[in-house]
Structure formats: C-alpha cells, structure tokens
Structure 1
C-alpha cells in the first residue's frame, strides 16, 4: 500500500510518498517540484509511481504555492527557483536527521517551473546523484527573453515588454549563475533524463532540445538522455511519469 504523509520542515510543507511496508527503511529519495501555480498535491501521481518502485518521493510546496499561500502576480519565477536552491539542503538534512538518507541515491526532478528548478539544482549541487527535468530550460536568461514574445505576454503593451527586457538585462548575472547551460561541465557524468513535448508553447521545446544537442557528445554528458513526444503541448503524459520512475529505479540500483 502506498502511504502519503504530510509534513513540514523549517516552514517547507511537503508530501512524503512511500510504500507503507518500506517507510522506515533507508530508500532512494527523489525530490519532485511542481509547476507554476501548482502544488505538492498536483504531482502526487509521480510520487506514487516512484513509491511503487521502492523509492521515497518528497513533494514540496514551493515558495508562494500550495500551503505557503498563493500570492502570485506573474514575475516571481526566478525568486522561486532561487528559493528552491536555498531550501534543497534543508529537505535533505530532514531525511538525514531521520536516519533515512542514502547519500548515494538522492535525486531531483520536476515539471515546467519545477523542471527549470531541476536544471538549476543540478548545476548547483554535485551531491545530487541523478535528475529528471520535464518541460524545463537550462538557460534562465534566454528563456526569460523568449517569454517577451510568447503567450506569457499576450495583451502586454510595448512599454511593458521593454520594461521586462530591461529587468532581465539588469538581473542577467543572477540568472546566469543558475544556468546549467553556462556550466554544462557541472553535469559531471551524472544521469540526467530530459523530456519535452514538441508543441509546448509555454516552455519552448526548441531551446531545450538545442541545449541537449550542444552537450550530447561531450564526455560529461555521457549519461544524459533526451526524450520527446511529438505534438504534445505543455502537459506531461502519465507514460512519461512512469518512464521517469523507471529511470530513477535503474540508476539507483
């Protein structure tokens, strides 16, 4: 039986999904991040798939989301991603203190904003064993510039677009510091599963595929996998959740 426990550590609410018969054992851990306006409850499906394969899934509510209160006005994504970078060690220490952490089997994953966070976390923390980014982007500044002419800015005035572009330029150093695209050698041969739908209009497939094509032949990227679904938009099919769970099960053997 799969068990879902709701917990909190240092103000971070999270759902812990695990096979009830294994809950007190040291298991591989995967922290999975939801998307923009989502919550931990919206990604329980992937948690169940991970738990069915003998892993412990940790699903946090990100800053300004879920039980932390939804107060979004539209420009907070990079604040949220930076906050995930700050908070991951807190989540990891939670399981270390409970005697449930295997340091060699600790993964991260996420979709959309969570997939962007996954790239940033993989760039920042060499102790992450493996990662899976779904509908993500490895270059925050480039993605932010793309949004100016995207569906995200439908109805925006020329003045608003120019203001956003100026804001991106002002914060470029901050954004580049998070960018795995700027430091791809930080992959260090670790397993990385990438997926995107080819018709995504919210996080561009083309930029993500271009990142993969740039790194795929490098020695540090020997364990990077690219997966795509033709015609799929900004949505993760259940089959992909199953493939991600299979991926982590394989690399954590």
Structure 2
C-alpha cells in the first residue's frame, strides 16, 4: 500500500509519499518539484510510481502556489517567476536536512526532479548542492541567463510593456548567473542527469536546453550512461508517458545502486 501524507516543514506544506511497509525506513529519497501555476498534487502519479519502486518521495508546494498562494493572482505570478525559482532552490536544502536527520532518507541516495519550472529548479540546484546524486529535468532549462533574455524578447514581440529598467534587468541577470549551469557546467561533476523535452515546446524553448546538453556531452565521456536526452518530436509543453516512465527508470538505475 502506498500512503500519501500531508506534512508541514517551517510552515511550508508538502506531500510525503512512501510504501506503508517502508514508512519508517531509511530510503532513497526524491524531491519532485511542480511547474509554474501548478501545485504539488499535480505530480502525484510520479510520486506513486516512484514509491512503488521503494523510494521516499516528497512534493513541495512552491511559494505563491497552491496552499501558499498568499493572494497572488495568476496574472501577477509572472513577475515573481525567478523569485519563485530561487526560493524553491533554497528550500530544497531544508527538506533534505529534515528527512536525513530524521533517519528517513539515505544521504547517499538523494535525487531531485521536476516539470517545467520544477525542472528549471532542479537544474539550478545542481549548481548549489553536492548532495544531489541524480537528477531529472522534464521540460526544464539550465541556462537561466539565456532563458530570461528569451522571455523578455517574447514579451516585446507580444507587445507587452516591460515594467523593468535596463538596470533592473542587468541586476536580475547578474543574480541568476550563480545558478546558471551554462556558466559553470563543471558543477555537474558527471552526476547522472536525464533531460526530457518536447521539440514543439512554446514555453521553455527546446533548442536552448538541447544546445546545453550538446556542450556537456563530452564531459561525460568516461561515464556516458550518466547523461541522456529524450527528445519528443511531437510534444509541446506536456510530458508524455514515455517521460514519466523514463523518470522512474532513471532513478531506479542511478539511485538504487
């Protein structure tokens, strides 16, 4: 039986999913982050399948989302995008510390994953946390600086008036660089990393993520099985069942051994 518990850590809600028979064990541990305008409950199918394989999984609620909405409307959410990403990256360490200290997570078997914004969080976290042993980015984006520039161009092309000065934009770019894998790919340290991305994605551009993958592939020359990119020819901004299954298989292969 798989159990789903609603939990709080520092007043932040998250879902905790695990096999009932292994509820008190020290298990391989996965933090799965949801996407922009989504909520923690929307990824329960990933957590269920991973729990079936013997993982302990948590689904955090990102700031300004779900139970943490705090009155921020969806229309106003966009201006907080990068604030949410960075806040979520920092909160990951709180979850890791708690579950390790409680003896519920094996410190040597910790993975992170996420869809869309959650994938962006996942890739940024790899610049900060050596405790991440394996990761999966589903429609994520590792090159923060390039993505912000792309977002700004999209807004301009849509005729949206930007409420940021050039100085504010440069300040944002400067802040994002410290989380940008494009500027520091060596921080991957050959850790297992799976990408899934639809070629027709209009929200997180496929080409920027794939270009990054192409630049780091040779860094994995001695461990080629630790890096993989699944391109879906037909998918837009929605993960296929193949992506779901590949996520479970990736963690089975790289966190269980």
Classify the TM-score, shorter chain: over 0.9
TM-superposed deviation, 1:162: 7.9
Deviation string, structure 1 residues 146-188 (Cα, Å, up to 9, x no partner): 11233x667434xx24847654323211011110111100010
**Partners of 1:166 and 1:206 in 2: CA distance:** 28
SS at structure 1 position matched to 2:187: helix
**Partners of 2:53 and 2:159 in 1: CA distance:** 46
Query: Paired residues, what number?
Result: 250
RMSD between superposed Cα atoms in Å: 1.8
Residues 112-131 of structure 1 aligned to structure 2 (within 5 Å): 112-131=116-135
Contact 1:19 1:51 in 2 (8 A): yes
Structure 1 unpaired stretches of 5+: none
Distance 1:153 1:132, change over 3 A: farther
SS at structure 2 position matched to 1:182: coil
Deviation string, structure 1 residues 79-105 (Cα, Å, up to 9, x no partner): 111111221111012112321121110
1:94 aligns with 98
2:192 aligns with 191
TM normalised by structure 2 equals 0.92
SS at structure 2 position matched to 1:102: strand
Distance 1:188 1:171, change over 3 A: same
**2:231 corresponds to 1:231:** no
TM normalised by structure 1 equals 0.93
**2:109 corresponds to 1:105:** yes
Contact 1:145 1:165 in 2 (8 A): no
**2:59 corresponds to 1:55:** no
Contact 2:13 2:61 in 1 (8 A): yes
2:12 aligns with 12
Contact 1:138 1:208 in 2 (8 A): yes
1:23 aligns with 23
